Amino acid sequence: MSTTSDELRAEVRQRYAESARAITEGAGSGCGGGSCCAGGESTAEGFGEALYDSEQRAELPGTATLASLGCGNPTAVADLREGETVLDLGSGGGIDVILSAKRVGETGLAFGLDMTDEMLALARANAREAGIRNAIFLKGVIEEIPLPADSVDVVISNCVINLSTDKAAVLTEVARVLSPGGRIGVSDVVSEDRLSSEERAERGSFVGCIAGALSVGEYEAGLEAAGFEQISVEFTHEVADGLHGAIVKATKTLTPSQKGVPVLEPAASAGCC
């Protein structure tokens, strides 16, 4: 009997809620001693706080680094600038929101979106401890982002898009909330094109960030369909056979008028008589 989308989402929510409670209660990460994504099914060192350098970890509360459950470091590749508005999809314990808020400065804003109450509470506590005042944490799902259109300059995410059961909806929503010319800098688990969906599932579970991974070609096609250009998918480290932590970048396509190109109306047809 196949697992439904709602059941998979509930399983993901439960796993990350348990992790947040374990961290809050001082019992470690709550995910088998490593990342929730690692889950004992893939290379554990390919996930978690080790992907942040010592200088970045020094900027963060201890519970924020414990709650680092991703497969990369999106803040290192997103090229954040003073005054920008950033959205982190699946913000977890808040590590990337805190780092982003510091990068964009007091004139900028960092949003974190998560569906898990326990993670949201942990992230807000971590932001307070870090002295961050330009971070806002929202409850919701990444397939329905609770922000208006054209309201964000940069979207980041750390090993979360692979956990969605409707990735086309996620990419469409990302394009909607990004301002014209806005960009994404995402860390995710991505499959080599040679692996079928069945072969990905053989290498790890959905909640372990393996079975739900897109291939390079699927990611590129999905981003293009959602309205992105300048798309790149770059492998950084292997997390299982044929599956890799990857950096995904793209820019929201501008319309001709947004590029400053005049849009000419078709000439009216002349009468024949």
Check residue 254 and report its DSSP letter: P
55-69 per-position pLDDT tens digit = 555 565 555 555 455
Looking at residue 55, its pLDDT comes to 56
What pLDDT, on the 0 to 100 scale, is given for residue 3?
73
What residues are paired with 158 via a beta bridge?
187
Task: Write down the pLDDT at residue 255.
Answer: 74
Q: List, for the chain, all residue ranges whose pLDDT scores fall below the cut of 50.
A: 32-35, 39-44, 47-48, 67, 269-270, 272-273
- Check residue 25 and give its pLDDT: 77
Report the predicted TM-score, pTM, of the whole model to 2 decimal places: 0.83
Q: Given this model, what pLDDT does residue 33 score?
A: 39
Q: How far apart are CA 76 and CA 73, in angstroms?
A: 6
**pLDDT recorded at residue 42:** 41
* Nearest alpha carbon to residue 133 among 165, 114, 107: 107
Residue 163 has what pLDDT? Answer: 94
* Straight-line distance from the first to the last Cα atom of the chain, in angstroms, rounded to the nearest whole number: 71
| Domains of the chain listed by start with CATH number | 5-252 (3.40.50.150)
If you search the block for the tokens 């300048």, which residue do you land on? 230
